[in-house]
């Protein structure tokens, strides 16, 4: 049941202004009662009405309004207990794929992918990291060779979140090995259901398999699935990476949300291992967490508006360091009980139950924060060169053809 009446009214030249948005939302809810409309039908109708992300263009789930107006929509829908699109289950799709498709996709690509992405009917992953490239993503070796109207892709990716659930993947591959590494890359969208895509679980320090290896064996990707020009993949990749770092380091969170919330809750419940010293640490971490929350809120709004900047690297780095310090203090307060672990079985994590996981799990999991989404060392390089304007590291591999680099 997808009523296109509302969207048609918008498309017909009856633009919705921010002042008229409350009335527009009320009219939408009068047509789609959340209590009486199946969840997926409600989400599809919300996207078609432009209420998914109001700052996006009409036809792409938005109304072309300022991103700040989204709060009006969210408050109205929350007041009537409308279903959401479970954003924590499609973080790469919503945080990275959508803004990349909006910035670099054709109108046909936007129409094909944005709606099922936003509703959560199609999960996305990101085929970027490779075993031999390390933190230097531009050194990747996965190759895409043209064959008629397709590209044939061969290679191996690693540390791929959600690959086991994804329908689509953002894929960067080398299409010209005879030019310097940054210039020979092209950006694609890969159908994860294609023959030749092999997803294998990776066991982590926590015992869980949150990530995957992905092997690509003669996988055919239509040229219609290319984002940007051939050889311009590095520029498209930068859009994705900047959004990724903002998503990791500047995610929307309430006061005492996330790791600092777990620590504050523990402090209020426990009194066995409280000391003056641990109290001082708690207060310091709380202040840092709140300062970071307020600072990164601006970055999050920039990302929502489609203008993420290199400042997201600062937030990502700060979040990694803070989360590790918070989880360490949590273990200190618990004492011996902090060494207990709940389940070491090799399994896929349940993304809904983090609050119920023990402190030991959080301590181990935060170790990955300084690796995923770009290592802390890479973040420091970006901050020093792109934000502070300091001299760049001496590099000899940016002018030499990729296939002549020693490896």
Q: Which are the catalytic amino acids?
A: 244
What is the length of the chain?
Answer: 407
Burial 193-221 (b: 16+ CB within 10 A, else e): eeeebebebeebebbbbbbbbbbbeebbb
Contacts of 299 (CB under 8 A, 6+ apart): 246, 249, 250, 308, 309, 311, 312, 315
Cβ 25 vs Cβ 80: under 8 Å: no
Contacts of 47 (CB under 8 A, 6+ apart): 61, 114, 115, 118, 119
Contacts of 378 (CB under 8 A, 6+ apart): 135, 313
Residue among 120, 360, 55, 97 at smallest CA distance from 237: 97
What is the distance of C-alpha 3 from the center of its chain?
30
């Amino acid at each position: 049941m997808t009523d296109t009446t509302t969207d048609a009214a918008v498309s017909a030249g009856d633009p919705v202004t921010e002042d008229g948005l409350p009335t527009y939302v009320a009219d939408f809810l009068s047509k789609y009662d959340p209590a009486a409309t199946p969840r997926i039908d409600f989400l599809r109708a919300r996207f078609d009405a432009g209420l998914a992300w109001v700052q996006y263009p009409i036809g792409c789930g938005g109304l072309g309004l300022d991103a700040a107006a989204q709060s009006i929509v969210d408050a109205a829908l929350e007041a009537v207990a409308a279903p959401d699109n479970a954003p924590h289950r499609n973080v790469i799709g919503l945080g990275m794929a959508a803004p990349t498709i909006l910035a670099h996709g054709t109108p046909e690509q936007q129409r094909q992918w944005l709606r099922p992405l936003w509703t959560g009917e199609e999960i996305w992953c990101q085929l970027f990291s490779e075993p031999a490239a390390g933190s230097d993503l531009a050194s990747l070796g996965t190759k895409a060779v043209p064959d008629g109207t397709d590209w044939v892709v061969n290679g191996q990716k690693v540390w791929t979140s959600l690959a086991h659930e994804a329908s689509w993947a953002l894929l960067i591959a080398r299409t010209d090995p005879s030019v310097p590494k940054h210039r020979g890359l092209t950006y694609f969208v890969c159908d994860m259901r294609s023959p030749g895509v092999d997803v294998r679980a990776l066991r982590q320090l926590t015992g869980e398999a949150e990530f995957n290896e992905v092997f690509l064996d003669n996988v055919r990707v239509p040229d219609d699935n290319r984002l940007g020009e051939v050889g311009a993949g590095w520029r498209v990749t930068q859009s994705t990476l900047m959004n990724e770092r903002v998503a990791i380091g500047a995610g929307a969170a309430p006061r005492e949300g996330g790791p600092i919330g777990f620590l504050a809750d523990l402090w209020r419940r426990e009194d066995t291992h409280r000391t003056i010293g641990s109290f001082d640490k708690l207060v310091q971490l709380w202040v840092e967490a709140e300062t970071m929350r307020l600072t990164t809120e601006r970055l999050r709004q920039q990302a929502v508006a489609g203008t993420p900047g290199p400042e997201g690297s600062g937030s990502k780095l700060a979040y990694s360091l803070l989360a590790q310090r918070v989880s360490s203090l949590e273990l200190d307060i618990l004492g011996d009980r902090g060494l207990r672990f709940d389940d070491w079985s090799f399994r896929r994590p349940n993304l809904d139950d983090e609050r119920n996981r023990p402190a030991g799990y959080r301590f181990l999991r935060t170790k990955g924060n300084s690796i995923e989404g770009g290592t802390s060392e890479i973040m420091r390089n970006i901050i020093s060169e792109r934000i502070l304007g300091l001299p760049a590291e001496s590099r000899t591999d940016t002018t030499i053809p990729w296939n002549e680099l020693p490896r």
